Chains A and B, each alone.
Chain A
Amino acid sequence: MYSEKVLDHFQNPRNVGEIENPDGVGQAGNPKCGDIMKIYLRVENEVITDIKFKTFGCASAIASSSMATELVKGRNIDEAWNLTNSAVAEALDGLPPVKMHCSVLAEEAIHAAINDYRRRKGLPVLEGKEYDHEHDHAHQH
């Protein structure tokens, strides 16, 4: 069902935890769907120098969080904004179709954290791509 990479990131997730006094925090998902992702950022000179996550969710949600944090760590904050869910899924060697929404959550959680950082900096928040989660799920029946 899952690729080796998904299982690896599920079993040995990278960047798990919290950052004290973070420069940005964002959360996506809701308990109803069974996924919540929370991302903490440390930003120095517009570069994400540290990132941590906490995730409630299935294996692909944990693996997507882990992979997404790896993909944006060390990146410029604007580059990090451009991380897409499909890039996360691709880096994991794919996700089962019913689990693609997990990669969407990772994108949204990172967007939420970056916007929190921007808010704190007095910068205008950015508009992320809109996803319809109920709709995503409805297709999986």
Chain B
Amino acid sequence: MSRQVYLDYAATTFTAPEVVSAMTPYFTQSFGNPSSIYSFSESNRKAMGIARQQVADVLGAAKEEIFFTSGGTEADNWALKGVAWRNRSKGNHVITTKIEHHAVLHTAQFLQENGFEVTYLDVDAEGRVRLEDLKNAVTEKTILVSVMFANNEIGTIQPIAEIGAFCREKGIIFHTDAVQAVAHVPIDVKAMNIDLLSLSAHKFYGPKGVGALYVRKGIKIDNFMHGGGQERGKRATTENVAGIVGLGAAIELTASRMKDASSRVGKLRNMLIDGVMKVIPHAKLNGAPVSERLPNNSNFSFIGIEGETLLLDLDGAGIYASTGSACSSGSLDPSHVLMAIGLSHEQAHGSLRMTLGEETSEEDIRYVLSVLPAIVERRRAMSPLWEDFLKNTQGGK
């Protein structure tokens, strides 16, 4: 068997075996509709209550503040649209950032098409929002601020507590897309003054297709799906019981391992970054220093090479990673995140994201470090951009 190294944990994780075991009875045995009043469904109602508590505990929230969704994208859609529409009598201005996930960005654009004004904050070269910029952007019409907890591409962690404190003081509702951060870095919605928070189970060893939105008690938000009385009437549809149980089990499991996992994964990630920066000439680490980014995230640019090329070569070596190149998405522009931190098109097209996780071993990292330099060298040798780059750097000396 040739070696397979999965380094795309930010895209999705496997579902932990313990989580699968917790879920299984809710497919085959305890399958009753939670809305049915007979005793057969009682165990399902109970199981969802436990899951709700498990999520609440990890966030420092109350059980009644957790609403299950189909995932992070739905939670983001609900947070932005629900708050904007419900509070439009108070104002029509929303503030977010240029580096949000498309689930937030495209929802914000949708709001713009429907009469709202949206400000997209710039970030610094390491991907951090400046509190000053936020303060300057606020007007008396601002009803909502949405800033992600940690970026999915470059891993930069935002000053969430500072933003939360500022918004609370101003009486502006504050939402954070914490899909990449939950159960990986400490979060306390009360201490951080977070009003709404999105999360998704498959980013922390839970199943795909289930997530949650935390809505602080007292925050006014429109209902998302209209129908039955599920999720206290805010989000109708028969609950994904097994998924919800999986979400609860996964968040508890991953959060309980957080400290050890982030130190172990962080060390391997640092080894990867050090190795790449040492061995590959003109490699660039995109994003913040390791102390201010998600412990499992690395993101590089290799000038002269296009990202899809790198991914396919790595794929050939059994290594699974991701890129911010346009060619991988079929659109003209490379990653909006990499452009927002000031990378050139060439650098953004030549980016490589490797995100580590539970099953990443030191051997895996050694293997990547043994394979990647030769791939970069070979592709650079056939790149006219690399040729120009060498001429310019030598000429400049």
Give residues in A with beta carbon < 8 Å to B: 7, 10-11, 13, 16-17, 27, 31-38, 53-59, 61-62, 98-99, 134, 137-138, 140-141
Chain B facing A: main interface SS:
helix
Q: Is the CB of B383 within 8 A of A55?
A: yes
C-beta contact mask, B321-334 vs A, less than 8 Å → 1, else 0? Answer: 00001111011101
Interface string of B274-298 (1 = CB under 8 A from A): 0000000000000000000000000
With A59-B312, A140-B331 as contacts: A34 and B345 at CB distance below 8 Å: yes
A27-B309 contact in complex given A11-B316, A141-B331, C-beta closer than 8 Å: no
A33 touches B306 (CB 8 A): no
B interface with A by C-beta (< 8 Å): 304-309, 312, 316, 325-328, 330-332, 334, 344-346, 349, 381-387
Q: Please provide the 10 A-B residue pairs with the shortest distance between their CB atoms, ordered closest to farther.
A: A58-B327, A137-B332, A58-B308, A98-B330, A34-B349, A38-B384, A56-B385, A54-B384, A56-B383, A31-B346
A140 to B327, CA, bound (A): 11
Partner of B309, one of A32, A38, A58, A99: A58
A140 — which chain B residues lie within 8 A by C-beta?
330-332
**Are B384 and A55 in touch, CB under 8 angstroms?**
yes
Known: A32-B345, A56-B385. 20 other contacts (CB 8 A): A10-B312, A17-B382, A31-B385, A33-B326, A35-B306, A53-B382, A54-B382, A55-B382, A56-B305, A56-B386, A58-B306, A58-B309, A58-B328, A62-B309, A62-B382, A98-B330, A99-B327, A134-B332, A140-B330, A140-B332
| Among A38, A58, A134, A137: residue with most chain B CB under 10 A | A58
Tell me which of B304, B305, B332, B385 contacts A33 (CB under 8 A). B332
Cβ contact of A59, chosen from B308, B330, B344, B345, cutoff 8 A: B308
* B345/A16 in contact, CB under 8 A: no
- B331 & A56 in contact (Cβ 8 Å cutoff): no
Nearest Cβ on chain A to B77's Cβ, whole angstroms: 20
Contact between chains at A137 and B331 (CB < 8 Å): yes
A31 contacts B309, CB within 8 Å?
Answer: no
User: A62 contacts which chain B residues (CB < 8 A)?
Assistant: 309, 382
In the bound complex, residues from chain A placing their C-beta under 8 Å from that of B308 are: 58-59
Contact B327 A34 (CB under 8 A): yes
Q: Which residues of B contact A17 (CB under 8 A)?
A: 382
A38: chain B residues at CB < 8 Å are 384
B105 shortest CB reach to chain A, Å: 14
Among A13, A36, A137, A141, contact of B384 (Cβ-Cβ < 8 Å): A36
Q: Which of A34, A35, A137 has most chain B Cβ within 10 Å?
A: A34
Alpha-carbon distance between A137 and B333 when the two chains are bound, in angstroms: 9
Interface residues of A, dominant DSSP: mixed
Q: Which residue of B lies closest to A35 (CB)?
A: B306
Residues on B with beta carbons closer than 8 Å to the beta carbon of A138: 332
B383 touches A54 (CB 8 A): yes
CB of B113 to closest CB in A, whole Å = 16
Q: A98–B245 Cα gap in the complex (Å)?
A: 40
Q: How far is the CB of A127 from chain B (nearest CB, A)?
A: 24
- The interface residues of chain A lying within 8 Å CB-to-CB of B330 are 98, 140-141
CA distance A141 to B329 in the complex (A): 9
Q: Cβ of B306: which chain A residues have Cβ within 8 Å of it? A: 34-35, 56-58, 61
B residues in contact with A37, CB < 8 Å: 384
User: How far apart are the CA atoms of A27 and B123 in the complex, in Å?
Assistant: 35
Once the chains are docked, how many angstroms separate the CA of A71 from the CA of B261? 54
Chain A residues closer than 8 Å to B382, beta-carbon distance: 13, 16-17, 53-55, 62
Q: CB-CB < 8 A to A56: which residues of B?
A: 304-306, 346, 383-386
Which residues of the other chain, B, contact A53 by a CB distance below 8 angstroms? Answer: 382
Select from chain A the residue with minimum beta-carbon distance to B385. A56
Q: Which residue of A lies closest to B312 (CB)?
A: A59
CB-CB under 8 A from B346, the residues of chain A are: 31, 56
Shortest Cβ distance from residue A98 to the other chain B in the assembled complex, whole angstroms: 4
Residue on A with the closest CB to B316?
A11
Compute how far the CA of A56 lies from the CA of B346 in the bound complex, rounded to whole angstroms: 9
In the complex formed, the residue of B with least CB distance to A141 is B331
Partner of A27, one of B316, B327, B345, B384: B384
CB distance from A49 to the nearest CB of B (A): 21
Tell me how far the C-beta of B379 lies from the nearest C-beta in chain A, rounded to whole angstroms: 8
* Closest chain A residue to B380, Cβ basis: A56
How far is A16 from B378 in the complex, measured between Cα atoms in Å? 11
Bound complex: CA A54 to CA B346 (Å): 16
Whole-angstrom distance between the alpha carbons of A7 and B332 in the complex? 23
